[in-house]
Structure 1
Amino acid sequence: MRDAPRQPQTLRLPASRLAELESWAVEGTGRAAAARVRDSAGRLALVRNEWADGWFLPGGGVEAGETARAAARREVREETGLDAEVGEPLVVLDQQYCGEDGDKWFTAEYAVFDARADGEITGADALGVHDGEILDARWFESLPEQFHERELLAPYLQE
C-alpha cells in the first residue's frame, strides 16, 4: 500500500470503548480494511452496524496472517453476502485513538480498497459474524448524507 494516499485520522472515544479495542491494536494486528464496493450499474454497497450511527463501507479488522486485501474481501462477504473482486487501495488512514480528554491510547491503520461485485445483498438477519452485528446492508445510487466519516472519505469514494 505504498502507493496509496495516506490521511491522518484522530478518533476520540470513551475509555470503555478504547479498552475494548486496545488488545486488537496492541496485541493484535492494529489494522483494519474496508472496500468501496460498486456494481456494474455504479451503485455503492454500504452497511449499518450495531455500534454506531450512519452508513459504513463494509470492513473490519485484519486477522493475524491475513493481508489487508484478503480481509477486505472477507469482510465484504460477511457483511453483505457479496463475493467482491478487490482491487487497489484508494486511501490508507493513519489512525490515532484518543480518549475524550485527548490522551493518546494507541495507533492503527485503516485501508480502503476499490472493489467490484454484482448481485443481491443478503438480508441483514444472515449477515455479520454474530447475531445483530449488521443491522442493514443495501445498494445506494450515491453516498448518503448519513455516511460515517463522509468529510474524510468522500473524496476517495467518488469515481
Structure 2
Amino acid sequence: MEHREGRERADRRRRRPAVVDPDNLIARYDGVRARPDKRETLAPDRWESARTREQNETSWGVGALVETDAGVLLARQGDKWFLPGGMHEHGETHAEGAAREVREETGVTVEITDLLAITEQTFVHAEDGREFAFRFATFRGEPTDTTLATNPGIDGETIDDVAWRETLPDNTFDRELVTRLRD
C-alpha cells in the first residue's frame, strides 16, 4: 500500500497545478467562516527550512476539521495537538489533498464537504526581512470510516498519537481558530 501511495504521490508532483489564488478557492465553495492573516518572523535556519519545503510544494497546506459524536479528530506531534493536515501536493485539488492528509495521518477516510477557513501566513526572515507567503485551507470532513490508525502517519512523519477528543486540549495548535470553526 505504501509503495503504491508513493508512486501516486510522485505522479501528482509531476503534474504541476496552476497557482490557486485564495479568492478563487473561496469562490468554489460557499465562502469561508474565517480568514486569518498572520505574520511570523523566523530565525535564518528556520526560515531557510520553511522556504525550501514551500518551494518544493505548492505554497499551500491543507487539512480538515472532522467531528463525530465521539468528538473532534486530532493528531499529536510532540506536545501539540493539531487538526490533521499537511502539504498540498501537485496534481490534486485542495479538497483531495485534505482528504489524503486526514487518511495518511489518522487512518480515517473522509468526504470533504465545505471550506471553513483559509489562513494566510507570511514568514519573514529575522535578519534581512525577506518574506514568503504560505496558505492553509481548512475544510470540513465528514467521516465515512472512524477507525483510527494503530501506526499513525506515513514513513518519515512524526505523528505520536491520533484521537477523537471530546474537548480541545489546551495545547491545541491555533486553538482559538479551531474553537471558532467548531461553533
> Hey, what's the Cα distance between the residues in 2 that align with 1:9 and 1:153?
15
> CA 1:87 to 1:104, structure 2 compared with 1: closer, same or farther past 3 Å?
farther
Q: In the TM superposition, what are the counterparts of 1:18-57 in structure 2 within 5 Å?
A: 18-39=47-68, 41=69, 43-50=71-78, 53-57=79-83
Q: 1:136 Cα shift? A: 0.8
Q: Which residue of 1 aligns with 2:174?
A: 149
Match of 2:159 among 119, 123, 134: 134
Radius of gyration: which is bigger? Answer: 2
Contact 1:63/1:71 (8 A) holds in 2: yes
SS in structure 2 at match of 1:6: coil
TM-score (norm 1): 0.85
Number of equivalenced pairs? 153
Q: Does structure 1 conserve the Cα–Cα contact (< 8 Å) formed by 2:75 and 2:162?
A: yes
Cα deviation for residue 116 of structure 1 reads: 1.7
Using the alignment, how far apart are the partners of 1:104 and 1:148 within structure 2? 25
Q: Which runs of 4+ in 1 moved over 3 A?
A: 99-102
Q: 1:96–1:104: 8 Å Cα contact kept in structure 2?
A: no
Give the secondary-structure state (helix, strand or coil) at the position aligned to 2:81.
coil
The alignment partner of 1:19 has SS state of: helix
Q: TM-score, normalised by structure 2?
A: 0.75
Report the counterpart of residue 96 of structure 1 in structure 2. Answer: 122
Q: What displacement does 1:12 show?
A: 3.2
Counterpart in the other structure of 2:147: 120
Partner of 2:3: none
Cα distance between partner residues in 1 of 2:104 and 2:177: 25
1:8 maps to which residue? Answer: 37
- Cα RMSD over matched residues? 2.0
CA deviation map 1:131-156 (0-9, x unaligned) = 56101111100221111111344212
More helix by share: 2
1:14-62 per-position Cα deviation (integer Å, ceiling 9, x unaligned) = 32222122133335310000100112x1510100125xx3100000000
The amino acid across from 1:23 in the alignment is: T
| Residues 1:73 and 2:99 are matched in the alignment | yes
Could you tell me which runs of 5 or more consecutive residues in structure 2 were left unpaired when the two chains were aligned.
Answer: 1-24
Q: Distance in 2 between matches of 1:9 and 1:98?
A: 11
- Report if the CA contact (8 A) 2:75-2:161 is conserved: yes
Cα distance in 1 for partners of 2:126, 2:46 equals 11
> Are the aligned partners of 1:45 and 1:138 in contact in 2 as well (CA < 8 Å)?
yes
Q: Check conservation: 1:18, 1:105, Cα contact below 8 A.
A: no
